[in-house]
């Protein structure tokens, strides 16, 4: 008996030492890695106490043995604002592992040219809550970003967030129980397809915000995604832009231009299927003179919309707007446009010139409304064809 | 049977430990021991600079969990830096900047000794700056290079005689760059003219302005004859200096190394540099970008007259990894720094 407990004691203390040793060895490998090398992590659950960082390297692969086989848990983290941080690198591949429960963001990559996330899971365990970290996958100021077959769960801001980046592909990913499932912000040339965004507050967001280094996003294609049941109560800390997203949002385009949304399944959203809004709708002041607050050249076509008849939930600014101002009752249009136009792009008929139009056609279950937000919602135009346009003006965005 | 288990268990655990490749710092081609640089003479722990090594101090230093710091610089023989009023001085290749972090055993009584924690060496090589963390041994006879950083418990008594203790973190080499970065390249943070423009006690209580001293040693050129032209950051706790200058100086050294247009926090659009006069990018009524939990349910970085509504003050007053700023280099809240920033924001006119 005594020997057994001694044995158990030895094993547990060695296990603790082995964990600490693993962390130090792995971090040392990342620091000393020669360009072009691959670092493998065996199957197992590893509890890390500090941020893992990779800095200033080229052509490095960090590879586990598979999602939920190799697990990096940051539950016991005592240092660092993110689980994994990669900065100032070229051609980095992260693949085949799970990361969990960091105090801040899970995987942040900054200023990386050629950043691939492949077959990764990044999650906060337990029920979605405001104390979860902000972003699960967080490339910012990167170029050539590939996020493929990744899973993001429980982020208190966005599960997959691409910020101020260029040339981006997000495909085959799953995002659920985040505030925003997938968010493309101030980013250029992004293609988001074959993803599932289910059970978040908002499914897929395409935003342009003022005051940033990369001023202008746009040229974004969103297609063949399943966007469903994004009716989770918004649990983002206020002050963050996604805190404004009402629960029950399928997709939202905020101030971004040249966005093509097609052949998506956009199903069962309590508030809106797709919203196209200007920055004015946030109620925030803009002091950035170079910033363009208007979304223009937005195409929404060949999608399928479904929704059960029900009143919009009375939650947040948008919920109040719907219930007090818009008063759609139980039959709420799938697509709304705030109707606030950039006057420099308007033709003689008072509508956007064709190249700037907000264009909605040929969707299954199509219904839309221009809500005239500029004039206190006085002249709401709703109906299936409220945002109809000449089919010839639908041109696929090229990049 | 159980003994077999025990042996088997030990074999298994050792197997795991051995299977991870062991690295030697020799691969890095940097001295493994701090003493090899020859920065100090006499006993290492006394930190007495060798003849070509110059001690210096900053007017308003970065807060690092109440650690004290000793700073030294060694320029290559015959070479010098050139004065500029705005940014960190440009030092020639071959320069070494040395910073030792320590705690006084009793802040009320210097005679009770001190504990040296780590010495960071910034070397300017032809390919750029490199940062090397050396961790002191318990005997305080030597410090050893640890690229992955480390952890050490330290205990002391503060100015009020309260017992304090802390699990002190030495950052790893990559994390050094988390702060010491400009446009992707490693760079020093502290030694700008505005930080060095103050007196230092060199020998037997003979205080001298540091920049004048450097000029006399031939370490700096183009220094203005009229020293009043040289900008100066006041100590953050200097009651004689203006609140505005103290606060902006504090934000400059504690935040602006990341929060500048080419620093690691450039993605936030918040620039807390000494020279930034643009109100919005300095935080006034600026909405956060990707602050997440750091926003604390508040709308703006700085709301004049309302420190409790300002994200800047909220994040300084937190020790939660997902909220606190700076995000590295501290575990404790700098109460005096928070009080300064609160007072500064409160002093502004409400809009």
- Which of residues A360 and B182 earns the better pLDDT score? A360
Residues 253-292 of B with CB under 8 A from A: 261, 264, 266-267, 269, 280-281, 285-292
pLDDT of residue A393: 64
Question: What residue spans of chain B are helical by DSSP H?
Answer: 2-19, 173-179, 193-196, 210-216, 243-254, 311-316, 335-346
B174 contacts A31? CB cut-off 8 A: yes
Residue A212 near residue A260, CB atoms below 8 Å: no
Residue B78: give the domain boundaries. Answer: 25-221
- Which of residues B169 and A116 earns the better pLDDT score? A116
pLDDT of residue B129: 94
Nearest-angstrom CA–CA distance, A244 and A239 = 9
A230 three-state secondary structure: coil
Nearest-angstrom CA–CA distance, B188 and B95 = 11
In a domain, B17, yes or no: no
Considering only CA atoms, give the Rg of chain B.
22
For residue A224, what are its two tokens? Answer: 């063949």
Stated as kind and residue range, the H or E segment containing B142 is none
pLDDT of residue B23: 42
pLDDT of residue A5: 58
pLDDT of residue A32: 92
Do B116 and B191 belong together in one domain?
Answer: yes
pLDDT of residue B182: 84
pLDDT of residue B183: 82
In a domain, B228, yes or no: no
pLDDT tens-place string over residues B39-67: 999 999 999 999 999 999 999 999 999 99
pLDDT tens-place string over residues A307-340: 999 999 988 888 899 999 999 999 999 999 999 9
pLDDT over 70 (residue A123): yes
| Beta partners for residue B125, in sequence order | B128
pLDDT of residue B11: 40
In a domain, B7, yes or no: no
Shortest CA distance from A56: residue in chain B: B184
In a domain, B164, yes or no: yes
A90-104, A277-291, B92-106: which has the minimum mean pLDDT?
A: A277-291
Nearest-angstrom CA–CA distance, B120 and B122 = 7
pLDDT over 60 (residue A37): yes
Considering only CA atoms, give the Rg of chain A.
23
Do B319 and B207 belong together in one domain?
Answer: no
pLDDT tens-place string over residues A180-233: 999 999 999 999 999 999 999 999 999 999 989 888 899 999 999 999 999 999
Please report which confidence band the pLDDT of residue A241 belongs to, taking 50, 70 and 90 as the band edges. Answer: confident
In a domain, B9, yes or no: no
pLDDT of residue A205: 98
pLDDT over 70 (residue A132): yes
Do B116 and B145 belong together in one domain?
Answer: yes
Do B291 and B320 belong together in one domain?
Answer: yes
pLDDT of residue A16: 67
B267 three-state secondary structure: helix
A285 contacts B285? CB cut-off 8 A: yes
DSSP class of residue B345? H
Does B31 contact chain A (CB < 8 Å)? Answer: no
For residue B18, what are its two tokens? Answer: 């051995």
pLDDT over 90 (residue A3): no
Do B183 and B34 belong together in one domain?
Answer: yes
In a domain, B274, yes or no: yes
Question: What residue spans of A127-209 are helical by DSSP H?
Answer: none
Rounded alpha-carbon distances, angstroms, from residue B22 to A36, A63, A70, B9, B301: 19, 19, 21, 21, 46
CB contacts of B315 in chain A (<8 Å) are: none
- The 10 Å Cβ neighbour count of residue B78 is 7
In a domain, B232, yes or no: no
Do B273 and B318 belong together in one domain?
Answer: yes
For residue B319, what are its two tokens? Answer: 């020790």
The mean pLDDT value of chain A amounts to 93
User: Which of B27, B147, B320 minimises the CB distance to A103?
Assistant: B320
How far is A246 from chain B, CA to nearest CA, in Å? 16
Interface test with A, best of B29, B321, B330, B351 (most A CBs within 10 A): B321
How far is A77 from chain B, CA to nearest CA, in Å? 8
pLDDT of residue A18: 78
Rounded alpha-carbon distances, angstroms, from residue B47 to B27, B115, B132: 28, 12, 18
Phi/psi for B313 (5° steps) reads -70, -35
Question: What residue spans of chain A are helical by DSSP H?
Answer: 2-32, 316-320
- Mean pLDDT over A354-380 rounds to 94
Do B149 and B244 belong together in one domain?
Answer: no
> In percent, how much of chain A has pLDDT > 90?
82
- Mean pLDDT over A144-163 rounds to 97
For residue B68, what are its two tokens? Answer: 């004290």
Do B252 and B303 belong together in one domain?
Answer: yes
B172 contacts A53? CB cut-off 8 A: yes
pLDDT of residue B27: 53
Do B174 and B30 belong together in one domain?
Answer: yes
User: Which of B148, B285, B322 minimises the CB distance to A103?
Assistant: B322
- Which of residues A13 and B266 earns the better pLDDT score? B266
Residues 145-204 of B with CB under 8 A from A: 147-149, 167, 169, 172-175, 177-178, 181, 184
Do B161 and B310 belong together in one domain?
Answer: no
Establish, for the pair of chains A and B, how many residue pairs have beta carbons separated by less than 8 Å. 184
pLDDT of residue B22: 39
In a domain, B62, yes or no: yes
Nearest-angstrom CA–CA distance, A311 and A334 = 13
Domain boundary among B189, B221, B253: B221
pLDDT over 90 (residue A4): no
Do B67 and B189 belong together in one domain?
Answer: yes
How far is A365 from chain B, CA to nearest CA, in Å? 35
How far is B9 from chain A, CA to nearest CA, in Å? 7
A3 contacts B3? CB cut-off 8 A: yes
Do B29 and B120 belong together in one domain?
Answer: yes
- Total structural domains in chain B? 2
A4-18, A128-142, B157-171: which has the minimum mean pLDDT?
A: A4-18
Max distance between CA atoms of chain B, in angstroms, equals 85
pLDDT < 50 stretches in chain B = 1-26
Domain boundary among B221, B256, B276: B221
B9 contacts A7? CB cut-off 8 A: yes
């Amino acid at each position: 008996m005594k020997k057994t407990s001694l044995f158990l004691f030895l094993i547990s203390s060695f296990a603790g030492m082995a964990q600490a040793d693993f962390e130090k060895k792995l971090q040392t490998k990342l620091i000393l890695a020669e360009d072009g090398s691959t670092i493998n992590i065996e199957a197992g659950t590893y509890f890390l106490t500090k941020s893992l960082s990779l800095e200033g390297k080229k052509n490095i692969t960090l590879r586990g043995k598979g999602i939920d086989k190799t697990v990096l848990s940051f539950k016991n983290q005592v240092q660092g604002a993110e689980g994994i941080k990669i900065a100032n690198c070229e051609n980095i591949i992260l693949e085949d592992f799970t990361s969990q429960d960091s105090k801040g963001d899970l995987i942040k990559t900054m200023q990386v040219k050629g950043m691939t996330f492949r077959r990764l899971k990044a999650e906060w365990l337990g029920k979605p809550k405001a104390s979860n970290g902000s972003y699960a996958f967080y490339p910012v100021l990167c170029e050539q970003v590939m996020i493929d077959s990744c899973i993001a769960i429980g982020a208190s801001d966005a599960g997959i967030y691409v910020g101020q980046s260029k040339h981006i592909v997000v495909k085959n990913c799953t995002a659920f129980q985040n505030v925003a499932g997938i968010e493309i912000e101030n980013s250029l040339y992004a293609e988001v397809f074959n993803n599932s965004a289910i059970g978040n507050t908002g499914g897929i967001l395409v935003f342009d915000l003022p005051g940033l280094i990369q001023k202008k996003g746009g040229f974004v294609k969103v297609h063949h995604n399943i966007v469903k049941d994004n009716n989770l109560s918004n649990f983002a800390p206020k002050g963050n832009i996604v805190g404004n997203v009402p629960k029950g949002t399928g997709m939202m385009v905020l101030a971004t231009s040249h966005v093509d949304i097609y052949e998506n399944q956009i199903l069962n959203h309590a508030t809106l299927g797709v919203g196209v809004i200007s920055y004015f709708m946030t109620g925030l002041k803009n002091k950035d003179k170079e910033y363009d607050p208007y979304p223009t050249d937005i195409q929404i076509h060949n999608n399928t919309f479904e929704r059960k008849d029900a009143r919009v939930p009375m939650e947040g600014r948008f919920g109040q707007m719907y219930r007090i101002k818009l008063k759609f009752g139980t039959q709420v249009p799938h697509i709304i446009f705030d109707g606030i136009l950039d006057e420099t792009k308007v033709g003689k008929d008072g509508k956007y010139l064709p190249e700037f139009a907000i264009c909605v056609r040929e969707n299954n279950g199509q219904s839309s409304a221009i809500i005239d937000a500029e004039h206190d919602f006085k002249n709401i135009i709703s109906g299936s064809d409220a945002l109809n346009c000449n089919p010839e003006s639908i041109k696929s965005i090229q990049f | 049977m159980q003994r077999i288990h025990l042996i088997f268990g030990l074999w298994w655990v050792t197997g795991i430990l051995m299977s991870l490749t062991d690295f030697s710092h020799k691969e890095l081609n940097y001295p493994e021991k701090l003493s090899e640089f020859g920065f100090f003479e006499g006993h290492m722990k006394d930190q007495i600079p060798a003849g070509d090594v110059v001690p210096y101090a900053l007017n308003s230093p970065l807060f690092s969990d109440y650690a004290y710091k000793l700073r030294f610089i060694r320029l290559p023989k015959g070479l010098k830096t050139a004065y500029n009023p705005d940014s960190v001085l440009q030092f020639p290749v071959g320069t070494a900047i040395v910073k030792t972090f320590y705690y006084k055993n009793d802040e009320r009584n210097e005679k009770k000794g001190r504990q040296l924690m780590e010495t960071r060496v910034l070397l300017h090589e032809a390919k750029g700056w490199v940062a090397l963390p050396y961790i002191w041994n318990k005997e305080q006879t030597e410090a050893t290079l640890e690229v992955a950083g480390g952890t050490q418990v330290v205990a002391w008594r503060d100015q009020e005689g309260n017992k304090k203790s802390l699990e002190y973190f030495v950052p790893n080499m990559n994390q050094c760059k988390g702060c010491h970065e400009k446009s992707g390249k490693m760079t020093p943070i502290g030694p700008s003219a505005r930080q060095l423009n103050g007196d230092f006690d060199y020998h037997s209580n003979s205080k001298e302005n540091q920049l004048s001293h450097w000029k006399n040693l031939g370490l700096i050129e183009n220094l203005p004859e009229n020293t009043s032209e040289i900008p100066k950051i006041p100590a953050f706790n200097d009651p004689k200096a203006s609140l505005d200058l103290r606060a902006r100086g504090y934000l400059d050294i504690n935040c602006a190394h990341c929060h500048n247009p080419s620093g690691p926090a450039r993605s936030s659009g918040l620039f807390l540099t000494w020279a930034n006069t643009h109100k919005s990018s300095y935080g006034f009524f600026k909405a956060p970008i990707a602050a997440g939990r750091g926003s604390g349910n508040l709308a703006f970085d700085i709301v004049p007259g309302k420190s409790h509504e300002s994200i800047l003050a909220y994040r300084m007053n937190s020790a939660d990894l997902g909220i606190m700023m700076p995000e590295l280099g501290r575990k404790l809240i700098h109460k005096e720094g928070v009080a300064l920033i609160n007072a500064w924001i409160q002093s502004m006119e409400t809009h």
